[in-house]
Structures are given as C-alpha cells and as structure tokens.
Amino acid sequence: MSVRSMKVWSWLHTWTSLVCMLFMLLLCLTGLPLIFHHEIGHLLGTEIEAPEMPADTPHISLDRILQIGEARHPSQGGMFISREPDDDRVWYLTMADTPTSTSGLHQVAIDARTGEILGEPQLESGFMYIVNSLHIDLFAGLPGMLFLGLMGVLLLISLISGAVLYAPFMQKLAFGEVRRQRTKRLKWLDLHNLLGIVTLVWFLVVGATGVLNAWADLIVKAWQNDQLSTMLAPYHGQPPQERGSLEAAVQSARAYLPDMQIQFVAFPGTSFSSPHHYGVFMHGNQALTAHLSQPVLVDASTAQVTDSRPLPWYFNALQLSRPLHFGDYGGKALQIIWAVLDVLTIIVLASGLYLWLAKRGRRKAGASALARTNQSSTDARLQP
C-alpha cells in the first residue's frame, strides 16, 4: 500500500472514529443492560411473573381479556395485544386514548387462564425505559434514530479503515504482541489494535444491525406505503363497520396459518392494521422463523381473512437484525459472549480517544519546544 493511500485510510479512520466515538460509547454502555433486560427486570421486580398452574389449564377468550383491560382503563381502547414468544400464559394489552396515540399509553398484563391482572408494566418511566430510549433515539424520536443511524454508518467506515490499516501495521509485530517495555502510548496503541481486531467481526455485525434498527420507522413506513396499501386497496373509501369479536379474528388467522403462532394483534385503526381490519401477526415455530412475521388481515366486523402475504425482504432483514443486535439467538451463553465483547469494545473506544488526545499532546509539546528553540536562536543572533 502506498504512503498516500495509507494517509487517506488513516484520515478516514481517525475522523470517522472521533465523530461517532462518544455516541458509540453511549450505545455500548446502554446496550450492556439491554442484553440482560429480562434478568434486570426480575431483579427490579418489574418483570411479570405468571403463577404456576397445570399445563392443561384452559385459557379464557381474548374478548374477555379485552373486557378486563377496558374495565381497568375505561376511557381508553385497545391498540395491541401480544405475548412473549415462549410464554402463552400472559397477554399484554396496550391501551391508549386513540388507535394512533404515541403517549399516555397503558399496558395491562392479564393472566390468559384466569383473567387476573398481574401488573401494569411501565412503558414511559423507570430505569430500563431511560436506558432503552437513550439507546434507540436519545429521547428525540425519529430524528434521534436517524442521527444514531448516521453515527452507525461512520462506525462501519471506521471499522473497515481500521482493518485496512491493521494489516501493514502487524507486519512489524507478532500477532497479539503488546510492547509493554516501551512508552505508555505504544502499549495502549498495541492493546487498542489487538482488541479492535478481536472484536472486529462482532462490532461490524452489531453496527450493521444497529443501523438497520435505526431505520426501523422508515422501513415500516415503506411497507405501509407499498405492500400494506396494496392489501387494503379493496377497502379504500369504505366507511369502517362495527368492530366484532377479537377472539374470532384470531381464530380465523390461526386457521389460515395453522403452522404458525400468534405474535401480536394490531387493533383496527393502528399503523399495523386499518380502520376495517385486525392485523394479526403470526410467527414461525423454529429458531430462525420465530423472528419472522407474516401479517394476516382479518375483517374486523366479519372475522374473515381478507389477505395475507409474507413480508418483503427489507422488513425481514429488520426482524432478523433485532435479536442479533442484542444476542437473543443463543440463550444465556450468547448473552454472556455479547456482554464480554461489549466491554472489550468499550475499552477499544476509550483507548482510541486516549491515543488521539495523547498524539495531540505530543504535537503541541513538540510545537512548543520548536518555538522555544527558534526563539533562543533568534535571541542568540541578536546579542551583541
């Protein structure tokens, strides 16, 4: 590689790293508790615990679940109802003043077998809400998400340029060598390079999936304007009818896709349905397909399935990126690996900042020494 090329790659690596570094540090620090959000929820007492009952205990109807939630918050209506992928004992009913509300939401956790209200998870307060909001959008909504997406793109450029610079650098040293007997800055440079190459693939994966997640709202809007609009075209201009049974709508979706399970249901009027439909989102039963959804549009008044299509590739990419971003594919072992790599990445970012500051300090010290030398020479020439 020519000297000119090295200078270009070095400039790219330095400035893309510096611009995104503080934000990447924030994302790594907030991402660490999010890897263990279920475990932290248990420790804080905010995780909903379903009481133990025989496995064959029958479930009450979703219409009854909805009635219980509406009795709890009579001034609000249902927006979504969902459950955990691996636990069908609890329904989480999200309620709001209108189907398109973005604030003032309430979520009621209801036992699917007895109808008992098990709790009301806090959607807009608490430690994990603060951490999650900082990680996703910096409390700035869509502009915050897009900004963090831009920082993610700069991170990817920084990682690629760092890998390019690493190859010729390591020709002078054995792999993993840290020159402990040299200056402090050289020791940290070697450590920075070593940890950087160790975490490179992981950071590339997390960075790329993070960029996808930052574009989530745009991806959803693209689907709404494309596929969903086509599916709803026959209902264009028709007035909405009286809403019928939620239970009947879900049973119709189950019959239509018998090999899939319920992920969540969007009530009529929300962004994932229409004023005429329940949007019943189903997901697969296997390790991979469990993260892939297929919407089933069910007429809200007749409970008849009107359309169902696999989601487009870009929406599937978003769905697959979310669990990969937080290490949700491989159970506790992968979570621990993700956490260790996250901590190593924090060290890489912090050491990179230290190296840049140390380099600037050396340059300033050198410039000051040169200025003093020049001044001394000038003074010597001026003496009689």
Residue 198 lies in a domain: yes
Residue 345 lies in a domain: yes
Together in a domain, 59 and 113: yes
Measured CA distances, 161 to 6, 40, 120, 290 (Å): 10, 36, 47, 36
Domain limit, last residue, from 95, 110, 125: 125
Together in a domain, 32 and 162: yes
Together in a domain, 121 and 136: no
Together in a domain, 120 and 136: no
Together in a domain, 198 and 51: no
- Reference 74, options 97, 93, 91; nearest CA is 97
Together in a domain, 120 and 135: no
Position 361 scores a pLDDT of: 65
Beta bridge partners of 90: 111
For the residues of 328-352, what is the DSSP string, one character each?
-SSHHHHHHHHHHHHHHHHHHHHHH
Number of domain units in the chain: 2
Domain limit, last residue, from 102, 125, 148: 125
Residue 9 lies in a domain: yes
Q: Which residues in the chain come in under a pLDDT of 50?
A: 378-382
Domain limit, last residue, from 105, 125, 145: 125
Q: Three-state SS for 22? A: helix
Position 170 scores a pLDDT of: 65
Beta bridge partners of 261: 283
Is the overall model pTM greater than 0.75, yes or no?
yes
Position 380 scores a pLDDT of: 46
Position 95 scores a pLDDT of: 95
Q: Contact 25/349 with Cβ under 8 angstroms?
A: yes
Beta bridge partners of 266: 80, 279
Position 30 scores a pLDDT of: 95
- Alpha-carbon distance 202 to 200, whole Å? 6
Together in a domain, 137 and 114: no
DSSP assigned state of 274? B
Position 179 scores a pLDDT of: 66
- Which ranges in the chain belong to alpha helices (H)? 3-35, 37-44, 62-72, 127-136, 141-169, 184-198, 200-214, 216-223, 229-232, 246-256, 313-326, 331-382
280's CB contacts (< 8 A; 6+ apart) are 249, 250, 252, 253, 262, 265, 266, 295, 296, 297, 298
Domain of 179? 3-39+131-206+331-377
Residue 223 lies in a domain: no
Together in a domain, 57 and 197: no
**What CATH number is attached to the domain comprising 105?**
3.10.450
